[in-house]
Copies of this chain bind each other. A is one copy, B any other.
Amino acid sequence: MRKTSAVERPDLKYAAYARERLAAMPPPADPEAFSLAYHLLHLSYLVVADLESQVHRPRGWTLPGFRLMFKLWLLGPTQPARLAEISAMSRAAVTNAVNTLERDGLVERRPVPDDRRAVEAALTPKGEQAVREAFADQTRREQQWFTALSPDERSVLTDLLVRVLANRPQDTET
């Protein structure tokens, strides 16, 4: 494995430079807030792009499609509105994702007996096999991403993220 120090990474070098520049500015400039938000969003972006290109695209699918199928795998047949709520995405986005997965034969729509407005999305046998295979690959790749941290450090990182999530700011009041 090739050794790569932080100064060789254009993105990390930029972040360090930006932090220095902000440190020399008066408030509301906040180098710590910038650095935290930047690295959080940047790491997430890199992980998403990596999982997409290394795991899911080679199989002919996408990461958002996998995440939806993974939820169906754990939860069983589920209404799009509930999927949207869990995923914090719009119902329209779920509709589009289900359309693509249905077109590829991975998911099917079923009517809900109690409510004629509602629909349930459910994995097909092909979809279930697809989830199992991609899940194994994705897990291995996720593990590779965090090998730099010890198990304790990974646990601390997870707990800090959960605490931020549990205390998220309110939306603008209507």
- Interface residues, chain A, with chain B CB atoms under 8 Å away: 1-2, 4-6, 9-12, 14, 17-18, 21, 28-30, 32-37, 39-50, 53-54, 71, 74-75, 82, 85-88, 135-136, 139-149, 151, 153-158, 160-172
Contacts and interface: CB of A to CB of B under 8 A. Distances in A.
Contact of A148 (B87, B135, B141, B167): B167
By secondary structure, the A interface counts as helix
Q: Which of A41, A147, A149, A171 is the most central at the interface, judged by chain B CB atoms within 10 Å of its CB? A: A41
A12 to B, nearest CB: 6
A52 to B, nearest CB: 11
B139 A43 contact: no
B74 A18 contact: yes
Contacts of A167: 147-148
Contact of A143 (B30, B74, B148): B30
